[in-house]
Amino acid sequence: MWEEPDQPTSTFVWQKKLEKHGLKNLSRKELEALNRRKQQENMIELEKLKKRRQEREHARQQHEDDMCLMQRSKEAAQFDEWQRQEECFHLEQAKLRSKIRIQDGRAKPIDLLAQYISEKSLEESIEMQMHEPYHYLNGLGLDDFEDLLADIRVYNELEKCQNADYWSDLTIIVEDELQKLRKAEAEKQRMAPGRREGIHQSVAKDVTQIFKGKSSSQLEELKRKIEDKIASPQDGLDIGYWESLLSQLKAHMARARLRDRHQENLRNKLELLKQEQEMNVKKEELDEQEAGPSGAGPSKKDEPVDETSRDSSSHSGNEQVKDEENAENDLLHECFELYLKGGYEPKLFSEKDLDPSVELTTEEKIEEDLDQLRQKVLG
């Protein structure tokens, strides 16, 4: 039987449990204090359990975040590798298309410019590098230069700026040619009448003659002087003229740098040709030495030394000098043959071979037309 409480609102006391734990003789206050202490201990234990659960959840979340970050890093590295392979693929495809167009005789200017700096065999590189790269720009129109400018940007991006100086110089030259063509087109259509464009057409040739033939260091010094003149202008100084002159000077400096690079390449190719020829000569000498001992004959030690042997040794020395001179002549002859093989010189043909619809123009006629254009501009 449960013991009925003295008052309906009093706290229930489990007497049997108290007897079991030996707490029957405790007063009500002591029991309440004991219960409060147990409640506090339970609360502390619950807090510990809650804290451990939160720590486990935090550790699990941290592990998931680390795994996610590791996976993202792995995917990013894989994506970078895929992107690099894709860029290499596009570059190789661009080179392959250029090679096919060159072989088919329908090469674009960008094909020739890219092949100029590509890694090729010795014979192909000599044949392709007989002229400076900016000679490939001759005869191009306005649309051709705009397309070439876009192609240069694409190649520079695909190569990861591997030949940035080369493409930068070509970009300067192409932009200069574009500016000249646009200016000529504007003058032809009488656009913006009365506006000064910096350098008059009649003075442009004289300016070109000033820059022509100068080295890159001389042009650099001239550029510095022009920049100093613009930075500290004097009374009556035509700023537009000097700024236009400076823009043209940058194009001439780019041509000079490409010309220096071209001369350096030719020297390297000539050195490679000499090394290759020396290796061939040494190989022939080794073959002759290996074939020599096969025949029986007295050794050189047993042969008496006489005047005839001395004469023959001096004669062999003269022959060696002549062989070296002949080797240089053969090298030059080989270069000339490669030059002719490349078809860089126009073939001579008679007027009978031309199509009747082709209009022939003499040099005198061209000069007359240019004089008339100059008179129109001056008038």
Q: Assess whether pLDDT exceeds 80 at residue 209.
A: no
Q: Are residues 93 and 181 in the same domain?
A: yes
pLDDT of residue 9: 60
Asked whether residue 257 is domain-assigned, the answer is yes
d(CA 264, CA 270): 10
pLDDT of residue 296: 46
Mind listing the pLDDT tens digit for each residue in 162-207?
A: 888 999 999 999 998 888 888 888 777 765 444 445 555 555 666 6
Asked whether residue 270 is domain-assigned, the answer is yes
Q: Are residues 183 and 242 in the same domain?
A: no
pLDDT of residue 319: 64
Mind listing the pLDDT tens digit for each residue in 263-278?
A: 888 888 888 888 888 8
Domain that holds residue 227: 205-284
Mean pLDDT of 61-82: 91
Three-state helix/strand/coil letters over 26-63: CCHHHHHHHHHHHHHHHHHHHHHHHHHHHHHHHHHHHH
**List of E strands, 69-112:** none
Q: Where among 284, 311, 336 does a domain terminate?
A: 284
In the DSSP assignment, the letter for residue 251 is H
Asked whether residue 304 is domain-assigned, the answer is no
3-state SS assignment for residue 106: coil
Q: Where among 190, 217, 249 does a domain terminate?
A: 190
More confident residue, 208 or 128: 208
Q: Are residues 211 and 280 in the same domain?
A: yes
CB-based contact 245:226 (threshold 8 Å): yes
Mean pLDDT of 138-157: 89
- The two three-digit tokens of residue 373, written as one number: 């254009």
Q: Are residues 213 and 248 in the same domain?
A: yes
Q: Are residues 183 and 233 in the same domain?
A: no
Assessment of whether the complete model's pTM goes beyond 0.85? no
Counted domains in the chain: 2
Q: Where among 164, 190, 216 does a domain terminate?
A: 190
Asked whether residue 80 is domain-assigned, the answer is no
More confident residue, 205 or 67: 67
Mind listing the pLDDT tens digit for each residue in 311-327?
A: 555 555 566 656 666 77
Asked whether residue 175 is domain-assigned, the answer is yes
Q: What is the mean pLDDT of the chain?
A: 77
User: Measured between alpha carbons, how far is residue 212 from residues 178, 206, 252 in Å?
Assistant: 20, 10, 8
Mind listing the pLDDT tens digit for each residue in 74-102?
A: 999 889 888 888 888 888 888 888 888 88
